[in-house]
Structure 1
Amino acid sequence: MEIRKLYTLRALAALIVFFTHFSDVTNWLGGALGGGSGAYGVMLFFLLSGFLMAYLYLERGFQKKDISHYFLARVGRVLPLYLAVVFGSYLLSISGNDALYNIPDINALVGHLLFLHGDSVLWSIPPEIQFYFIFIIFWACAKSRKGYIYVSIFAVMILLFLFNFPRVSGDFNGVPYNEFNVLRSLPYFFVGVIFGMNYKSLMIPQYLRRHWFVLALCLIPLMYPDLTTVTSDAKRKMWLSYEVLFVMSTVFFCVVFLVPNNNVLLANKFGDFIGKISYSLYLLHMPVIVQVNKLNLSVELKLILSLSLSILAAYISFRYFEKPMAKLIRGKSPNKLSLGQQTSRTQA
């Protein structure tokens, strides 16, 4: 079953990151939309990833062919564009060009290829990849030991809190690694998994299914460091705050569970379009913003040009590279999905 509004939620996540970086680079609106606020977009991406993994896989069999299909689907979804950007950044960096991301030497390249380190927005891909392997453990428990999933999730979250999210980072023989990024991201994947496990079975009373719950999305800008009335360090230590996790989980729950699926703000062609190209938009927008900012234009024109070029680049990437590569890789799976499952899969 397709959950169409998830496209718009993914689109919103990508646009949050875009506007945050644009605000930081150009000081648009005095930088009020920046200051690390892009974290909220990435949090939505991680919640969505955990949700979709649980929603799509935990009720399926855990056989060799299923696992094979799972990994091919994940590889097809994430790796082609990521690897193209990483190798492109490396080749440009060693030639003295900063058009993409800063990967200046072979050690930095290896760190990216081993999913241990990521420059700029690329930092979020290693946690995503490492979560895919963690999810296999949950999947193995889903049929007969589902309770173990809850126990392990809560145990890990408590340990992370008690040990203050250990700063596991450094380099190994010159190859950089930063597992701190993974540790601080896990709670969002885990909450998404819990929601995905219960999406089909949780009985929401009809009187609670209301369109106005879409207003929960307004809680996100209210947490921006320069806009919030919160005085605790939660507004700066976003990833290390379970208060932020609670708010973001509440927003996600309201949108996914309480807002009707036909809500016009969440189920529309624009949301569908941006949601489908959101991965390309996420990976490609930052270089576009940086290059446009070098032009002698007003900040308003820079915004229009940056957004337009980022969407254009994302569409071209999705249409002519990301989508064909994903189809090619998934086509090697021995386990063919039904048409309905394929439709749902496009959201993962």
Structure 2
Amino acid sequence: MQIRKLNTLRALAALIVFFTHFSDITNWLGGALGGGSGAYGVMLFFFLSGFLMAHLYLDKPCNKQNITDYFLARIGRVIPLYLVIVFASYFLTQAEKNTLYNIADFNTVIGHLLFVYGESVLWSIPPEIHFYLIFTLLWSFSQHRKGYIYAAVVVVMLVLFFTNFPKIFGDFYGIPYNLFSILRTLPFFFIGVIFGLHYKQLKIPAYLRSHWFVLALCLIPLMYPEFSPITSDAKNRMWLSYEVLFVMATVFFCIVFLVPDNNILLANKLGDFLGKISYSLYLLHMPIIEMVNTLSLSIEQKLIVSLLLSIFVAYLSFNFFEKPVAKMIRNRASTRQRHAMSTGIKQA
């Protein structure tokens, strides 16, 4: 069963990143919405990713067929557009046209293809891919004892905390890598997995479910460096702060578990639409903002044009590239599976 609220939450995550980058690039509102605050949108994406994987797969047998279906679904959703952007960025950079992202040499392309490095917003794709692999281990653990998942999560989070999130980055024979960006995201995936593990079983008392819990979303701007009442370094460390993890996990829990499913602010057609195109919107918005910023427009006009153009391009990308390619991958896999079964029957 689809959890419709998650569409709007995914859309909100993409919009947080959009407005952060617009504020940084154009100095809109004095840059108050920038300063790395887009991290909170990416955190929501990672919570959603871990949650949905656990919700959709942990109750299924961890066998070859289900694992194949899992990877095809994940790869078909994320990899094709990512690869197109990486190679397009490289060739455009070679042509001295910085229309997308600055990928200056083929070693940097290799870093992207190995999912150990990411330029600009592309940095978030390697952690996603690595977690797809890690999740298969958690999935296999759950076949024996689901409690092993908790043990693994606790151990990893303690190790990350006491090692101060190892700063592992550099280059290997000219190929850049940044494992630090992967390690710092793991706690957000893990909390998402734990929430997804309990979504079907956890019974929230009726008196605790209220539309008012949607106001938990207001906690996010309260963590923005320019608005936060927090005086510790948590508001600047963001990814490395377990205080931030706690607040963001609270927001996610309130929206997913405590807000009724029919909440009009979260379950609506606009949220469905923007959630559907959120991945394209996330990957493609920044070059569009950069382009629009060169135009002779007021900053308010730049905001409107950038947002509408980003949504339009994301819509085209989703409908004419992402969705058809993902469908093609699934169809070819199904064809091969039927062929293999047919061959096996004949041989038998």
Q: Is the TM-score greater than 0.5? A: yes
Aligned position for 1:72: 72
The SS at the match of 1:176 is strand
Do the aligned partners of residues 87 and 164 (structure 1) sit closer, same or farther apart at CA in structure 2, a change above 3 Å counting?
Answer: same
Aligned position for 2:345: none
Aligned position for 1:281: 281
Residue 334 of structure 1: CA displacement?
Answer: 4.3
Inter-partner Cα distance in structure 1 for 2:265 and 2:335: 36
Inter-partner Cα distance in structure 2 for 1:121 and 1:49: 17
Mapped contact 1:69–1:334 kept (Cα < 8 A): no
Percent of pairs identical after alignment? 68
Residue 333 of structure 1: CA displacement?
Answer: 3.5
Inter-partner Cα distance in structure 1 for 2:287 and 2:150: 40
Residue 113 of structure 1: CA displacement?
Answer: 0.8
Q: Which amino acid aligns with 1:73?
A: A
Aligned position for 2:339: none
Inter-partner Cα distance in structure 2 for 1:277 and 1:294: 25
- Please tell me whether Structure 1 or Structure 2 has the larger radius of gyration of its CA atoms: 2
Q: Structure 1, residues 188-215: CA drift from partner, whole Å, max 9, x if none?
A: 0000000000000011101001000000
Q: Which amino acid aligns with 1:263?
A: N
Gaps of 5+ in 2: 337-348
Inter-partner Cα distance in structure 2 for 1:252 and 1:34: 22
Q: Which amino acid aligns with 2:238?
A: M
Is 1:205 equivalent to 2:205 in the alignment?
yes
The SS at the match of 1:237 is helix
Gaps of 5+ in 1: 337-348
Higher mean C-alpha displacement, 16-25 vs 141-150:
141-150
The SS at the match of 2:22 is helix
Mapped contact 1:65–1:335 kept (Cα < 8 A): no
Mapped contact 1:66–1:335 kept (Cα < 8 A): no
Aligned position for 1:165: 165
Inter-partner Cα distance in structure 1 for 2:27 and 2:109: 31
The SS at the match of 2:230 is coil
Mapped contact 1:69–1:335 kept (Cα < 8 A): no
Residue 330 of structure 1: CA displacement?
Answer: 1.7
Residue 241 of structure 1: CA displacement?
Answer: 0.1
Residue 120 of structure 1: CA displacement?
Answer: 0.4
Residue 332 of structure 1: CA displacement?
Answer: 3.0
Q: Structure 1, residues 189-248: CA drift from partner, whole Å, max 9, x if none?
A: 000000000000011101001000000000000100001111100110000000000000
> What's the Cα RMSD here?
1.0
Inter-partner Cα distance in structure 2 for 1:117 and 1:107: 11
Aligned position for 2:312: 312
**TM, length-normalised to structure 2:** 0.95
Aligned position for 1:181: 181
Inter-partner Cα distance in structure 2 for 1:170 and 1:78: 25
Q: How many matched pairs?
A: 336
Q: Which amino acid aligns with 2:199?
A: Y
Q: Structure 1, residues 150-197: CA drift from partner, whole Å, max 9, x if none?
A: 001011001100110000000000000000000000000000000000
More RCO (CA 8 Å, sep 6+): 1
**TM, length-normalised to structure 1:** 0.95
- Superposition map of 1:28-177 within 5 A: 28-177=28-177
Aligned position for 1:193: 193
Q: Which amino acid aligns with 2:176?
A: P
The SS at the match of 1:170 is strand
Is 1:262 equivalent to 2:262 in the alignment?
yes
Inter-partner Cα distance in structure 2 for 1:334 and 1:195: 31
The SS at the match of 2:185 is helix
Residue 143 of structure 1: CA displacement?
Answer: 2.2
Aligned position for 1:339: none
Inter-partner Cα distance in structure 2 for 1:271 and 1:176: 37
The SS at the match of 2:176 is strand
Inter-partner Cα distance in structure 2 for 1:57 and 1:330: 17
Q: Structure 1, residues 40-75: CA drift from partner, whole Å, max 9, x if none?
A: 000000000000000000001111111111111111
Inter-partner Cα distance in structure 1 for 2:197 and 2:311: 33
Is 1:243 equivalent to 2:243 in the alignment?
yes
Aligned position for 2:325: 325
Aligned position for 1:11: 11
Mapped contact 1:65–1:334 kept (Cα < 8 A): no
The SS at the match of 2:265 is coil
Inter-partner Cα distance in structure 2 for 1:59 and 1:333: 22
Q: Which amino acid aligns with 2:179?
A: E
